[in-house]
Amino acid sequence: MKKIILFILLVISIAPVYAQTSVGVIGGYNLSFVYPDINWTPSNYKVSYGTGWRTGFVADQHLWKDFYLQPQLIFNQKSYNYSTIANVNDAHYKYKRHLLYLELQAHLLYKPKIGNGRLFLGAGPYIGRGISGRERVEGYDQDGRFSSLGYDIIKYKKPPPFNRDYDEENVTYMKPYDVGINLLAGYELKNGLFFNVIYSLGTNNTSYDATRSYNGYLGLTVGYFLKKFI
């Protein structure tokens, strides 16, 4: 399924090269989460939102009437936080996980003219490849005092067998691909500047362990097309 989606996205992203299109840059802010809430054992794990960013390139191709195709190639950081209380002396730990993906998105937009610009509503799939990541681990004693600090590296590959001599204690393994769907709404000015809100939900499990983990985020985007629409 991931290969089929990737092929479709590649075809969609290449198509604007052969047609008149606008090209621009985008950047944005993510309020990220994982879903469903992680129900690890013991039950004293708590998961909260994390913050991240997006930046990259966008194209805008007119298809028919008020319908447009908008592929994007972006770097997309997705983050979340979680904490746990150990059974011994009520010590607790706070984790901040940051995941960076190179992501290809393709959105079908409805863009009617409203005022001096265009309102747009749309949706489309995405596929991302994990390229880097890090997890910050903070330890606190039973009195809430800071006691330790460590970092884990995120590797996007299958973990080694348990019976293999593989000295990588500070490594967390995750599946390399993140696939999902985006919903977005925004407004584009006649000078090429645009703003939008995006809601993204992953559809594939990114975790190798028994806990199923899906990425999601609510984001704000600002972009600018180097060529104005007609």
Task: State residue 7's pLDDT score.
Answer: 52
Task: State residue 151's pLDDT score.
Answer: 78
Low pLDDT (below 70) residues in the chain: 1-20, 36-45, 85-91, 141-148, 162-169, 227-230
0.85 surpassed by pTM: no
Task: State residue 139's pLDDT score.
Answer: 72
Residue 159's DSSP bridge partners are: none
Cβ–Cβ < 8 Å for 226, 55: no
Task: State residue 2's pLDDT score.
Answer: 55
2-225 fold: Porin (2.40.160)
Residues with Cβ within 8 Å of residue 174, at least 6 apart in sequence: 99, 130, 133, 154, 155, 156, 206, 207, 208
Task: State residue 165's pLDDT score.
Answer: 44
Nearest CA-CA partner of 173 in 204, 133, 136, 127: 133
Task: State residue 216's pLDDT score.
Answer: 95
Task: State residue 161's pLDDT score.
Answer: 75
